[in-house]
Amino acid sequence: MKIAMIGAGYVGLVSGACFADFGHEVVCVDKDASKIEKLRQNVMPIYEPGLASIVKRNVEGERLSFSTELAESLEGCDAVFIAVGTPSRRGDGHADLSYVYAATEEIAESITKPIVVVTKSTVPVGTGDEVELILSKKLNSDQFAVVSNPEFLREGAAIDDFKRPDRIVIGTEDDRARAVMSEIYRPLFLNESPLLFTGRRTAELIKYAANAFLATKITFINEISDLCEKVGADVQEVSRGIGLDNRIGAKFLHAGPGYGGSCFPKDTLALMKTAQDNESPLRIVEAVVQVNDQRKRAMGRKVIQAMSGSVRDKKIALFGLTFKPNTDDMRDAPSIAIAQTLIDAGANVTAYDPEGMELAKDIMPAVEMMESSYQAATEADGVVIVTEWDAFRALDLKKLSGLMTGKALIDLRNIYDPQDVAKSGLEYTSVGRA
């Protein structure tokens, strides 16, 4: 199969590289000429483990190429995937679809043979209908079919998620499109990843419902963890105790400082708006959005409380800034609100993150970025573990304690055993554990 992927961002690049790895011929198209130039030199625009080597292998095998020109890239293609950004629209939280529609207009101008147009970007229910309408103004109905094929990739684990998915959702009512999509995903199907064929609107909603459900699961356990602290229970054990019930499942029950990233905050908001517009409000999702927003600053207050109620003129080191490990993504990271809360309360904040500092330094200019965790903690009154990078899981706690002026270790990801920390002389505060 020959495939064009519009958008060489996170989703487009990972999907394009993996399709090429299956043996398809893929061209990734992006308007950003410098990004395309860098990709041709195997410089990745994002940090994603394993991506650079897959890109290199497939470029060398002449299955993967990069271009800024959509029209010529579409020549001979069986399918074109739209994988451009759908950020939250300023002001109302709806998904901004202008990039999706602009890409569609360009496809309508450029195609020379019948093609399957696939939306991979996360788009609200009904967007496929709009895409179809735009195409039908320029093309006959036998020249195209529109499919929804949402992605379920986690940053930091995207290659594995793509190659070993729990399921592949394909939303279309068109038999030819079904055949093309089956052929594209055949390597995975042989691996026994179920292909789930649905209507197009259903596929669009599955994506939002999945992310909203996962965000709900996290927010639920976060609220339970607050209750654990009040009643002297242990949230880790509550998570295990409920997660062993197959109906609930163990994943996404890790209490922490709240979810962030490029998907959950934006998608929950967009789903909430769609629901309100359709006079079918999703009150649970509304509550999740509100609780999660408030939690981020609440974590800053938790740190203050752990430091005897005041951080004025105290030095606090943040370990980890990205919204989760194995990414450089700072979008909606809880660290942003936590740092600001501490700065507002008069603290001097230093930080270390293995990959995120380049992007973080512009977002939090008042935070001093350091070269290592130990350097960040030197003469600190308190250390806060914000993101659970592996590098923070086996710190030399005695050394850390020796470098610090104060003794507070606040672990917002519960990656330490309270008894181990006690031996080092540090005073430990974690989430949802007495």
Task: Please report, as ranges, the residues that interact with ligand UDX according to CB under 6 A.
Answer: 151-155, 211, 214, 218, 252-254, 256, 259-261, 263-264, 323-324
- Rounded to a whole number of angstroms, the minimum distance from the CB of residue 418 to ligand UDX is 20
Three-state helix/strand/coil letters over 292-308: HHHHHHHHHHHHHHHCC
- As a whole number of angstroms, the distance between CA 191 and CA 31 comes to 35
Nearer to ligand UDX, 424 or 429 (CB): 429
Q: Yes or no: say if 258 and 292 are a contact pair by the CB < 8 Å rule.
A: yes
Residue 150 token pair:
């949402």
Listed residue (56, 67, 48, 52) closest to 5, CA to CA: 67
- Rounded to a whole number of angstroms, the minimum distance from the CB of residue 56 to ligand UDX is 23
- Rounded to a whole number of angstroms, the minimum distance from the CB of residue 290 to ligand UDX is 16
- Rounded to a whole number of angstroms, the minimum distance from the CB of residue 59 to ligand UDX is 25
Nearer to ligand UDX, 259 or 428 (CB): 259
- Rounded to a whole number of angstroms, the minimum distance from the CB of residue 264 to ligand UDX is 5
Q: DSSP class of residue 409?
A: E
Among 28, 77, 228, 263, which one carries the catalytic annotation? 263
Distances (CA, A) of 293 to 108, 305, 332, 353, 367: 40, 19, 10, 23, 21
Question: What backbone phi and psi angles, to 5 degrees, belong to 3?
Answer: -130, 135
Nearer to ligand UDX, 9 or 256 (CB): 256
Nearer to ligand UDX, 260 or 406 (CB): 260
Beta bridge partners of 383: 317, 409
Nearer to ligand UDX, 104 or 262 (CB): 262
Q: Using DSSP, state whether 379 is helix, strand or coil.
A: coil
Residue 203 token pair:
């596929």
- As a whole number of angstroms, the distance between CA 13 and CA 151 comes to 12
Is 18 a residue of the active site? no
Q: Yes or no: say if 404 and 383 are a contact pair by the CB < 8 Å rule.
A: yes
Three-state helix/strand/coil letters over 84-113: CCCCECCCCCCECCHHHHHHHHHHHHHCCC
- Rounded to a whole number of angstroms, the minimum distance from the CB of residue 28 to ligand UDX is 19
Nearer to ligand UDX, 133 or 250 (CB): 250
Q: Yes or no: say if 119 and 128 are a contact pair by the CB < 8 Å rule.
A: yes
Residues designated as active site: 263
